């Protein structure tokens, strides 16, 4: 390798590690060289001219007072006989003895429980929709080990019945990810669970996009004939991609600061450049503890942060490192043993990671499991307590609310019942940690989107309605 080439590579690695000044959302807060700062930010994010941004519009909402419930805030407090006031699509007040405004709908929730809306950080609804036929297989662009250029939003089918079934289980926000065939699988997208005619109209407004990465057996299996066929190949492929992305990022950052001729776009490098800027959050499929440590090292080399490891059946082995580096772990309760890297799990995984001070998250990766996340959280809590760990109810609730909100960069908007946050709320028929409990009412942005007692407020997708109306005439068909 020539000396000039070596210097270029060293410079690119240095830039990836944060050795140069990089414009962020905050840095580009004013017009630069006569250019509009918003359009500069959009160009860097791959959304030139505002294309591909969220078109979500909240449903009409009325001021609502939910009264006399057991309110589990997810922020450390459980209020018996508590009230929650929803106004202007936000949580206005949480407390006791609240007075209902004159125009408010009052919900008597005596004997019932109220929690924040449930958040699933790992879903493939829409990209692997029901019915599960080959024509609906849209989650893995398994044509190359690194496909950072693809976006899950472009595969999401909003008519997937899984969305409405998840809503009936209290799920208000989902992170929809590409599959795990590739080392770099592409961008994920966070959606509000309000089915619409386009996936773009479900996108959580101003939520950061995510990047799905995967290591271990999946990419080894899919690409065993052409590589990566080993874990060595896994890490080499990811490092090469980020080396190229660091050079690309510096070229665009220079343009963002100083103007001039706009550089030529590369969709894959564009996504990875956003990861290096901290604008796209890494969600990493990783089972074994040694793989997770390697991933932390790769992130350190290039100066980005893994937001959450997914599946992470051996997270308990490195829970101190997760706490140290502020990396979450999105885990199952007790799904294991279906391949070699999934064998060394313990059902106390969530409780152990949580006890160490790291952010433990319950995820599903499953269209059925997403309907009973409250029950899975209860089982994980029971496993922890049986092992002698002091798992509080608030802690277990945070596994499916506050902690996933943080993993998606939305902790200031959803995940807890606190004044000013989005009014994404579930009213449960009883204790949410009971197998006998159902979601009675679900609100998203203060709008009642699901009511178990009213078929008129139980949304059905167009696909579920069928291709023609039922014949009610009584005549021959």
pLDDT for 3 equals: 33
| Helix or strand holding residue 161 (H, E) | helix 161-167
pLDDT for residue 27 is more than 70: no
The helix (run of H) or strand (run of E) holding residue 185 is strand 184-192
Strand 306-311 and strand 281-286: the pairing is parallel
H runs (alpha helix) in 82-183: 161-167
Mean pLDDT in residue range 208-230: 96
* Domains of the chain: residue spans and CATH: 64-117+417-462 (2.30.40.10), 118-414 (3.20.20.140)
pLDDT of residue 33: 62
In angstroms, the CA 275 to CA 269 distance is 10
Secondary structure element (H or E) that encloses residue 311, with its range: strand 306-311
Mean pLDDT of the 434-441 span: 98
Quick check: 454 and 472 in contact, CB under 8 A?
no
The predicted-structure confidence for 290-334, as pLDDT tens digits, reads as follows 999 999 999 999 999 999 999 999 999 999 999 999 999 999 999
Answer yes or no: is pLDDT of 342 > 90. yes
What one-character-per-residue DSSP string does 341-376 give?
GGSS--TTHHHHHHHTTS-EEE---STTGGGGHHHH
> What is the per-residue pLDDT across 129-147, written as a single tens digit (0 to 9) for each?
999 999 999 999 999 999 9
Position of tokens 């001729």?
Answer: 261
d(CA 269, CA 234): 18
SS3 403: helix
Mean pLDDT for the stretch of residues 399-404: 98
């Amino acid at each position: 390798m020539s000396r000039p080439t070596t210097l270029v590579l060293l410079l690119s690695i240095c830039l990836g590690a944060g050795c140069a000044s990089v414009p962020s959302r905050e840095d580009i807060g004013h017009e630069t060289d006569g250019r509009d700062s918003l359009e500069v930010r959009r160009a860097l994010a791959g959304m030139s001219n505002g294309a591909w941004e969220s078109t979500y519009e909240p449903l009409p909402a009325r001021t609502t007072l939910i009264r006399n419930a057991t309110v589990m805030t997810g922020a450390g407090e459980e209020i018996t006989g508590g009230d929650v006031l929803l106004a202007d699509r936000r949580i206005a007040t949480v407390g006791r003895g609240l007075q209902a405004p004159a125009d408010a709908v009052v919900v008597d929730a005596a004997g019932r429980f109220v929690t924040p809306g449930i958040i699933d950080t790992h879903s493939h609804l829409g990209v692997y929709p029901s019915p599960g036929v080959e024509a609906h297989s849209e989650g893995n662009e398994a044509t190359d080990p690194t496909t950072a250029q693809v976006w899950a939003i472009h595969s999401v089918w909003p008519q997937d019945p899984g969305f409405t079934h998840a809503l009936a289980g209290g799920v208000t926000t989902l992170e929809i990810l590409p599959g795990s065939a590739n080392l770099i699988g592409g961008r994920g997208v966070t959606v509000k669970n309000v089915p619409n005619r386009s996936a773009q109209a479900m996108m959580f407004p101003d939520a950061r996009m995510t990047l799905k990465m995967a290591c271990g057996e999946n990419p080894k299996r899919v690409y065993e004939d052409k590589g990566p066929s080993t874990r060595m190949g896994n890490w080499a492929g990811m490092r090469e991609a980020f080396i190229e992305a660091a050079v690309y990022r510096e070229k665009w950052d220079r343009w963002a600061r100083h103007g001039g001729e706009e550089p030529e776009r590369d969709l894959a490098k564009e996504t990875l450049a956003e990861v290096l800027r901290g604008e796209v959050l890494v969600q990493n499929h990783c089972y074994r503890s040694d793989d997770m440590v390697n991933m932390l090292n790769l992130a350190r080399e290039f100066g980005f942060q893994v937001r959450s490891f997914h599946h992470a059946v051996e997270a308990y082995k490195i829970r101190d490192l997760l706490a140290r580096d502020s990396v979450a772990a999105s885990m199952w309760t007790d799904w294991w043993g279906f391949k070699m890297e999934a064998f060394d799990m313990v059902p106390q995984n969530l409780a152990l990671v949580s006890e160490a001070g790291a952010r433990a998250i319950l995820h599903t990766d499953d269209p059925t499991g997403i309907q009973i996340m409250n029950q899975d959280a209860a089982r994980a809590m029971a496993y922890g307590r049986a092992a002698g760990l002091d798992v509080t109810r608030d802690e277990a609730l945070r596994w499916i609310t506050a902690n996933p909100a943080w993993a998606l960069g939305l902790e200031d908007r959803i995940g807890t019942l606190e004044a000013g946050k989005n009014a994404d709320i579930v009213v449960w028929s009883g204790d949410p940690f009971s197998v006998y409990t159902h979601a009675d009412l679900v609100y998203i942005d203060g709008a009642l989107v699901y009511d178990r007692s009213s078929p008129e407020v139980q949304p059905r997708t167009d696909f579920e309605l069928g291709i023609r109306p039922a014949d009610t005439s009584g005549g021959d068909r």
